[in-house]
A = this chain, B = another copy of it.
Amino acid sequence: MRILSSDIAKFVDQTILIQGWLHKKRLLGGITFINIRDRRGIVQIVVEDENEIEKLRGLQIGTVLEVSGLVKQEDRAPGGFELHQAQITVMVPVINEPPIEIDKPLSHKSDNLDTLFDNRPIGLRNLAESDIFRLRALLITYIRDFLIAEDFVEINSPKLVGGAAEGGAEVFNLDYFGKEATLAQSPQLYKQIMVGVFERVFEIGPAFRAELSATTRHVSEVTMLDVEIGFIENHDDVLKLLETMLYQVLTKLYQTSADMLKRLNAPALVLKPSFPRYKMSEIHEMYQKATGHDVSQELDLIPDEERWICDYAAKHLNCQAVFATDLPDKKMKFYHMKGENGVARSADLLFRGIEISTVPQREHRYQELVSQMEKAGIDPNSPAFAPYVSAFKYGLPPHGGFGFGIDRLTQKVIGLSNVKEAILFPRDINRLNP
Contacts and interface: CB of A to CB of B under 8 A. Distances in A.
Interface string A96-139: 10110000000000000000001111101100001001100100
A153 B137 contact: yes
A424 interface: yes
Contacts of A179: 432
Most buried by B among A157, A158, A172: A158
Nearest to A97: B394
Contacts of A96: 393-394
Contact of A424 (B124, B162, B190, B396): B190
A124 B193 CA distance: 10
A182 to B, nearest CB: 10
Given A133-B153, A197-B130, A397-B19, A433 B159 contact: no
B121 A390 contact: yes
Contacts of A423: 156
A166 interface: no
B39 A151 contact: yes
Given A174-B173, A210-B177, A395-B62, A121 B160 contact: no
Contacts of A155: 133, 137, 424
A181 B121 contact: no
Contact of A91 (B398, B432, B433): B398
Interface string A403-434: 00010000000000000000111010100111
Interface stretch (A25-33, A199-207, A304-312): A199-207
A63 interface: yes
A432 B134 contact: no
Contact of A388 (B121, B172, B175): B121
Interface residues of A, number: 95
A162 B94 CA distance: 27
A140 interface: yes
A271 B391 CA distance: 40
Interface string A174-192: 1111010101000000100
A421 B397 CA distance: 26
A197 B130 CA distance: 7
Given A190-B425, A433-B387, A159 B156 contact: no
18 contacts: A39-B199, A39-B230, A61-B394, A63-B395, A64-B395, A92-B365, A96-B394, A120-B387, A122-B391, A133-B155, A134-B153, A158-B427, A159-B159, A174-B175, A176-B432, A177-B210, A387-B433, A387-B434
In the A-B complex, the 7 residue pairs with the closest CB atoms: A387-B434, A62-B395, A174-B174, A39-B199, A62-B394, A121-B391, A162-B432
Given A38-B199, A125-B196, 10 more contacts: A21-B395, A61-B394, A64-B397, A92-B364, A96-B393, A130-B198, A133-B155, A144-B144, A172-B174, A177-B210
